Each structure stands twice: as structure tokens, then as C-alpha cells.
Homo-oligomer: A and B are copies of this chain.
Amino acid sequence: METMTRTTTDTLTIRQMCDAFGVTPRTLRFYESKELLFPLRQGTRRLFSHKDRARLTLILRGKRFGFSLEDIRQLLGMYDPAGSNAAQLEKTHEIALERLAQMEAQRADLDIAIAELKGQLIEVQGRIARFRAAAE
């Protein structure tokens, strides 16, 4: 039969987590070691909560934007209730403002790049067409 992972809890094993997000166990353990994820333990085994899943979503998205794991770790502080003192909150706020500016700049940059790439695409298509026309 199948291994019935009938989980009454809303936590995922490391394998379920990997399947859900398309990453390897090594990656999840690595992220935990870097304090990006904080899975619970059932004995020695990791159990990933909903919160971990939310964080992993943000981590992977951040990576797609070219952010380093350290950048991402600091950003994740915002989603934590951990900011228990004023100084912490202030710093988190500062970092977030900085990242926001970064991302908006990146967005503008991206628009330019997309426009240019489209232009070049048309160019290349033209060259291909002329190639074909000359081929007969």
C-alpha cells in the first residue's frame, strides 16, 4: 500500500515540503542553518508549519529577484512578531524602505530592459526573414 501520511496537523515533512516547492532537503536544512526557516521538531525530524511555507515562498521569490539570502533574511524580519523592541522595529522598517526603493528601481529598470529586448527581437526577426527571402 501507500505510505499514508495522513497528517491531522497542518505541518509538512521535509519531503512533502520539497515536493511542494521544488527544492531539495539540503536546501531546506541549509535555510534553517541560516535562520531563514524554523521548522518544529518531532524528535529529531523537522516539521514545517504554515509559517515556514509562507517564508519559503518569500525566500524563493526574493531569489528570483537576485537578492542574497542575507538580504532576504533581513526582510523576513518584517513578517515576524519578533520585533519586540523599538530599536528592532525601527531597523526593520529602515531595511524594508531600502528594499522597497530597490525593488521599485528594479521594476523601472526591468521595463526598460523588456522594451529594448522586444526591439531587438523585431530586429532579429527581420534578419531571419531576409535570410529566408535570400534562400530562394
User: From residue A115, how far is it (CB to closest CB) to chain B in Å?
Assistant: 10
A127: which of B89, B103, B123, B125 is its contact (CB, 8 Å)? B89
Report the contact-size class of chain A (Cβ under 8 Å from the partner): 35 or more
Contact partners of A62 in chain B: CB under 8 A: 113
Kindly supply a per-residue 1/0 record for chain A positions 93-117, scoring 1 wherever the CB is within 8 Å of any chain B CB and 0 otherwise: 1001101100110110111111001
- Let me know if A121 is at the binding interface, CB within 8 A: yes
Contact partners of A43 in chain B: CB under 8 A: none
Contact partners of A111 in chain B: CB under 8 A: 107
Query: Which residues of chain A from 11 to 27 have any CB-CB distance to chain B below 8 Å in the complex?
Result: none
- One complex includes copies of this chain to the number of 2
Which residue on chain B has the smallest CB distance to residue A89?
B128
Q: Is B131 within 8 A of A117, CB to CB?
A: no
User: From residue A90, how far is it (CB to closest CB) to chain B in Å?
Assistant: 7
Q: A residues touching B (Cβ–Cβ < 8 Å)? A: 61-67, 75, 78-79, 83, 86, 89-90, 92-93, 96-97, 99-100, 103-104, 106-107, 109-114, 117-118, 120-121, 123-125, 127-128, 131-132, 135
